[in-house]
Amino acid sequence: MIPGSCCCGAVEFSLAAQPSMMATCHCSRCRKSGASTIVFVKKDDLKWVKGRENVALYQPKAPYKYGRCFCKICGTSLGEILSEDDSFPISAHALDGKLTARNSLHEFVGEKPDWVEICDSAPQSSGHPD
């Protein structure tokens, strides 16, 4: 089990298995929501411990389609943790246990700020990778 939580502890969950992939998005939306490094988890692996009712969803206007979840109390970014898809991204920073996944790609590197230095050898893409 890999525990996860928000900053204030109002939201707690666990993952029954390691995430399948880790990636970093450098687009302004992901940076501003605090979820630029994400891990992909399977819906069946996510178990709520407490506080699902404390998770809010920000639904963006078109052309964006992916909502962002966060703790209603402290604002911790939780990625797409309320998704009903079979697999979805959550913020890697919300996980409290050890991860075996390592960053496998950087997307939207054309939008990254000048002060960000990419310091790993993961492939880079100017937008969503092919």
For residue range 5-51, what is the model confidence (pLDDT) as tens digits? 999 999 999 999 999 899 998 888 888 877 789 999 999 999 999 99
Instruction: Compute the radius of gyration of the chain from its Cα atoms.
Output: 14
Q: What's the whole-model pTM score? A: 0.87
Q: Given a cut of 90, is residue 102 above it in pLDDT?
A: yes
- How many other C-beta atoms lie within 10 A of the C-beta of residue 107? 21
Give the Å distances, CA to CA, from 72 to 27, 61, 75.
23, 20, 6
pLDDT at 27: 85
Residue 31, SS3? Answer: helix
Q: Given a cut of 80, is residue 64 above it in pLDDT?
A: no
Q: Given a cut of 90, is residue 59 above it in pLDDT?
A: no
Q: Given a cut of 80, is residue 54 above it in pLDDT?
A: yes
65-76 confidence digits (pLDDT tens):
778 999 999 999
63 cis-preceded (ω within 30 degrees of 0): yes
